[in-house]
Each structure stands twice: as structure tokens, then as C-alpha cells.
């Protein structure tokens, strides 16, 4: 008997299915950009230096809060690709318990999507910085 997939793994599987139906990386990057368009606007109060993610090619803000035992993330960027990348990460991580966030292998997940290979080195570094920030929030909350 195998363990049932966790909600975060199911979300990853759904993203992988979405990526697989797209024919090439141009369409996949367009899909990521579209994810960013669906982000709720980030309040100006959350656009603080403390919420800025260092290491990104563009300006990226990532704010977090708690609802019961779950971390909720809000984010925005001044770049369409970075905004899409952070939106993809929010699909995976927002609304999860800190322990679930820390147990999830983001690098393997992003590799399964093929996302780091489709990005410039600087954008891939920014994506890793966003994941690092989310994990740091989870460690602080755990």
C-alpha cells in the first residue's frame, strides 16, 4: 500500500499536467506569466524592505501571515516572469502547515516542472531565493 499524496504533491501533479499539455517553453513561460496575472493585488503596506526578496533580478515582495496552523503568503513583483514564478510558488505553498512546507522538496519539484532550465541563471537564482524565503518563514513559524 502506498501513502496517499499530500495536498502539496497533488498541487504539484496538477501543475505538471498543465505544463505537459503545453507544446514548448515559450507557451510554458506564457502560462507562468498568466499565473502572475491572477495574483491578488499586494497592499502598499506589504511593499516594505522587510518583505523584499533579495537575490531576485526584479523587485519581489513576499509577505506572510498565519491562519490557524497554516502560513498564508501574498506576493507581487514588478516583472511579469518573476510575478508568475512567485504565483506558482504560492500555489504550492500558501495555506500549508509549516511542517508540510519544510518537508516538501522544492528543488526536485521545480526540476520536475523543468522551470529552472527554462529561465536565465539570474531568474533561476531569484526563484531559489523565493523558495528560500518561504522556507525561512516556515522555519520561523514552526
Residue-wise DSSP of 65-98: EEETTEEEEEEEESSHHHHHHHHHHHHHHTTB-H
Q: Which of 53, 56, 86, 101 is an active site residue?
A: 56
Give catalytic status of residue 110 as yes or no. no
Per the listing, cell 516542472 goes with 113
CA 1 centroid distance within chain: 31
Gap between the Cα atoms of 52 and 141, Å rounded: 18
Per the listing, cell 502572475 goes with 36
Q: Where are the alpha helices (DSSP H) in the chain?
A: 7-21, 25-37, 80-93, 98-103, 106-113, 115-118, 121-141
List C-alpha distances in Å: 2 to 6, 97, 100, 105. 12, 22, 18, 19
**Residues identified as active-site:** 56
Amino acid at each position: 500500500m502506498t501513502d496517499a499524496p499530500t495536498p502539496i504533491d497533488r498541487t504539484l501533479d496538477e501543475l505538471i499536467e498543465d505544463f505537459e499539455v503545453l507544446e514548448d517553453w515559450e507557451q510554458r513561460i506564457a502560462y507562468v506569466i498568466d499565473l502572475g496575472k491572477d495574483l491578488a493585488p499586494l497592499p502598499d503596506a506589504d511593499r516594505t524592505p522587510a518583505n523584499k526578496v533579495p537575490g531576485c533580478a526584479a523587485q519581489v515582495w513576499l509577505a506572510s501571515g498565519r491562519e490557524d496552523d497554516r502560513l498564508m503568503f501574498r506576493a507581487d513583483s514588478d516583472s511579469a516572469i518573476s510575478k508568475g514564478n512567485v504565483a506558482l510558488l504560492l500555489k504550492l505553498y500558501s495555506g500549508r502547515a509549516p511542517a508540510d512546507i519544510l518537508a516538501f522538496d522544492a528543488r526536485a519539484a521545480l526540476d520536475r516542472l523543468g522551470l529552472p532550465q527554462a529561465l536565465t541563471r539570474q531568474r533561476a537564482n531569484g526563484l531559489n531565493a523565493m523558495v528560500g524565503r518561504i522556507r525561512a518563514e516556515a522555519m520561523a513559524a514552526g
